[in-house]
Amino acid sequence: MKSKKFKYVLFAVVLASILIPINIASSSPLTEKKELKDKLVSQVISIREELDSIVEEYNVATEALEQTKAEIEELEALKDDSASRLSLYRKDLEVVLIDQYKHGKVQIAAVIAGTSNLSDFFSRVGLISRIGERYADLIQKVREAKDEYERTISKLNDRKLLEAQLVEEQRKKKEEIEKKIAEHERLISQLKVDISVLEKAMYQPVGFISPNPFSGVVRLALEHQGEPYVWGSAGPDRFDCSGLVWYIFKQLGVKLPRSVAGQYKAGRPVSKDQLQPGDLVFFRNLGHVGIYIGNSQFVHAPHTGSYVRVESLNSPYRIRSYYGAVRIGG
């Protein structure tokens, strides 16, 4: 009897020694795999949000660069106009000086010599007192034209310096974006099929919605479903988030800023419970924008690797990151 009891105890010990390692070995890799997956998902989300912010900084720089280029073009035209008027007035003044010289009232060589740079054209001689009040108006016109020309040159140089700085800022942002995208793609490749699960869980895309029942802004936006997200793009067949909004409103004759923050400032704030189709909805402290279409849904260009699509405002991620909404016009 004692021997039989000993055999049962021995069997239990042996069984436990076999089962326990199996349990540990089988559960630990699963736990580690889940932890790795959760970590990768968290990194993907973080990179997408960082990308949105950097892309918007790039768009702001792009908008500033375009404005600066337009200002440079205007200043170049103003410079040419100022130079033409200055040249005309100077020739008139030289005719007067020559006439005065012939009558022995002014030494023309002393006045004109060395004045190819007009900065000392008036300072070296008192022309008004020598020539007389009759030509004071002409002298004043030359002075004003010279001052305007020099102010224009100064502004032009400032704008060209700003242009160079913005170009360099864009270059750095471009490098930063491309680096982040490469990191994003690396993480996505590790997630493999899990990325589709991530998309559905986070964003709750609702599938294709026909533009036919809609009109205006919403109809135009829905017509671009399926077209790729490309950072820094604003149509006609590829977009980032603010680029889609900018392009759609442009088709209706409404000029909006190119950046998310600029688009928010361009509208009138509306509460979430008062949203109407065509309103702009914003997320993550003005890091992202979309166009509300009704029924708690919005259309937008989501992120790198995706396409223009409709999503729910009621997904946990969008609820958590919702910032506000504005109405353009109306």
Whether the predicted model's global pTM rises above the 0.75 cut: no
pLDDT-above-90 percentage for the chain: 48
Across residues 87-94, what is the average pLDDT?
A: 75
| Per-residue pLDDT at 74 exceeds 80 | yes
Choice among 184, 224, 300, 303 that is catalytic: 300
User: Could you read off the pLDDT of 238-252 as tens digits, one per residue?
Assistant: 999 999 999 999 999
Looking up residue 57, the CATH number of its domain turns out to be: 1.10.287
Q: Which domain holds residue 152?
A: 42-191
What pLDDT was estimated at residue 41?
A: 77
Residue 252 shares a structural domain with residue 113: no
Q: Which range has the worst mean pLDDT, 30-39, 41-50, 233-242?
A: 30-39
- Is 1 part of any domain? no
| Per-residue pLDDT at 119 exceeds 70 | no
Residue 163 shares a structural domain with residue 266: no
- Is 17 part of any domain? no
Looking up residue 320, the CATH number of its domain turns out to be: 3.90.1720.10
What pLDDT was estimated at residue 158?
A: 93
| Per-residue pLDDT at 167 exceeds 80 | yes
Choice among 184, 224, 241, 303 that is catalytic: 241
Q: How many domains does the chain have?
A: 2
288 is catalytic: yes
303 is catalytic: no
Cα distance between residue 145 and residue 81, in whole Å = 10
- Is 37 part of any domain? no
User: Could you read off the pLDDT of 169-185 as tens digits, one per residue?
Assistant: 989 999 999 998 898 88
